[in-house]
Amino acid sequence: MSPSMIAPVVEEENKKYQRGVKHLCETGVTKVPTKYIWPEPDRPIFTKSDKLIKPKQNLKLPIIDFAELFGPTRPHVLRTIAEACETYGFFQVVNHGMEGDVSRNMIEVCKRFFELPYEERSKYMTSDMSAPVRYGTSFNQSKDNVFCWRDFLKLLAHPLPDYLPYWPTSPSDFRSLAATYAKETKEMFGMMVKAILESLEIDGDGDEAAGELEEGSQLVVVNCYPPCPEPELTLGMPPHSDYGFLTLLLQDDVEGLQILFRDEWVTVDPIPGSFVVNVGDHLEIFSNGRYKSVLHRVLVNSTKPRISVASLHSFPFTSVVKPSPKLIDEQNPPKYMETDFSTFLQYVSSREPKWKNFLESRKIGHRLK
């Protein structure tokens, strides 16, 4: 086939992948297309020197009983949070008050959104990263060389009245259920911020950062991972850290989240109704490196679809993020440069995002390669 004949075929193939993995599955795919096959060392299970590398046993993250933050054991809970943020960069929260209908309804209505016809879902497809609603696929579909087995719906959520009119109207109860979920996770984040600051021995009352975070950004990201015919060849999401201060993740009962712990990928045991909370890049910067934004990735499987809802919270998009002055002294000089959202957007729009490259680029003394 001549080059002039190949080009249209390749372009048509790329268009097919841009429509998303859910659409691909709906066409009856039985093998993972080359576009989704990861290099061997990056796959969930791979053979190296005739040795099969298998995932380690599941990891039980530290569990925070949210209700105990408001009782006499609060100092103990704060120590547990500090240790979790330093050691794992992750912890799980139970007894948070959202175990009932709010969480269940959010997972259920998100499942129904992704079951809508492609023509309905695709109304929200855009490459504009600042759009109030964005439906897409993979991790960064305009830059990814290899695609991920994941579709997403991203919703800007604060201030909610500004963005709610743009949210999907189908399913008919999507807006009302998602709005309730966004409001309640925002409230939960506010209480978590007070605990995080206190665990860093920062008085949140009157603290400038605490005030900014209270009015800060919120992005709700719904992730859909359809069953994959060859899950050993691909990833739901590549290794990455979260841009932001804290992420509150709600999962269904299908495991898939892995974190890098002591240089090994370990699967996080999902606890029904719990939230997985993880440190974002902004909190690592704000804590001057004391709390770690840890790499994580997502595996897929061949039998069960998986839905997760991440609520990413941080400073307002216009804010400058820097190490807290209350954590800086002669013995602890700042380890990170100041940064802002526009710097991040410029960075990710100019290259394929990998690992913790953006955060590394903000470290003082780091040399760009």
Looking at the predicted structure, is the pLDDT value of residue 56 above 60?
no
Which of 40-54, 202-216, 272-286 holds the top average pLDDT?
A: 272-286
Looking at the predicted structure, is the pLDDT value of residue 49 above 80?
no
Question: How would you label 219-256 residue by residue, b for 16+ Cβ within 10 Å and e otherwise?
Answer: bbbbbbbbebeebebbbbbbbbbbbbbbbbbbbbebbb
pLDDT, tens digit, for every residue of 282-321?
Answer: 999 999 999 999 999 999 999 999 999 999 999 998 888 9
Can you tell me the mean pLDDT for 332-356?
Answer: 73
Sheet harboring 90-94: ordered strands across?
A: 63-65, 90-94, 275-279, 246-251, 306-313, 218-225, 151-156, 133-137
- Is the CB of residue 276 less than 8 Å from the CB of residue 251? yes
Residue 358 to residue 40: CA distance in whole angstroms? 24
- Is the CB of residue 291 less than 8 Å from the CB of residue 279? yes
Looking at the predicted structure, is the pLDDT value of residue 208 above 90?
no
Looking at the predicted structure, is the pLDDT value of residue 156 above 80?
yes
pLDDT for 363: 87
Can you tell me the mean pLDDT for 29-41?
Answer: 93
pLDDT for 280: 94
- Is the CB of residue 78 less than 8 Å from the CB of residue 106? no
356: confidence class by pLDDT, cuts 50, 70, 90:
low
The mean pLDDT value of the chain amounts to 88
Residue 194 to residue 361: CA distance in whole angstroms? 28
Beta-carbon-side half-sphere exposure of residue 209 (alpha carbons within 13 Å)? 24
Cα→Cα distances 175→171, 189, 224, 273, 335, Å = 8, 21, 18, 21, 42
Q: Which residue has the tokens 């190949």?
A: 6
Residue 246 to residue 331: CA distance in whole angstroms? 27
Residue 218 to residue 187: CA distance in whole angstroms? 11
pLDDT for 5: 43
pLDDT for 357: 72
Looking at the predicted structure, is the pLDDT value of residue 205 above 80?
no
- Which one-letter amino acid corresponds to residue 347? Y
Residue 333 to residue 330: CA distance in whole angstroms? 6
User: Which of 6-10, 112-116, 211-215 comes out lowest in average pLDDT?
Assistant: 6-10
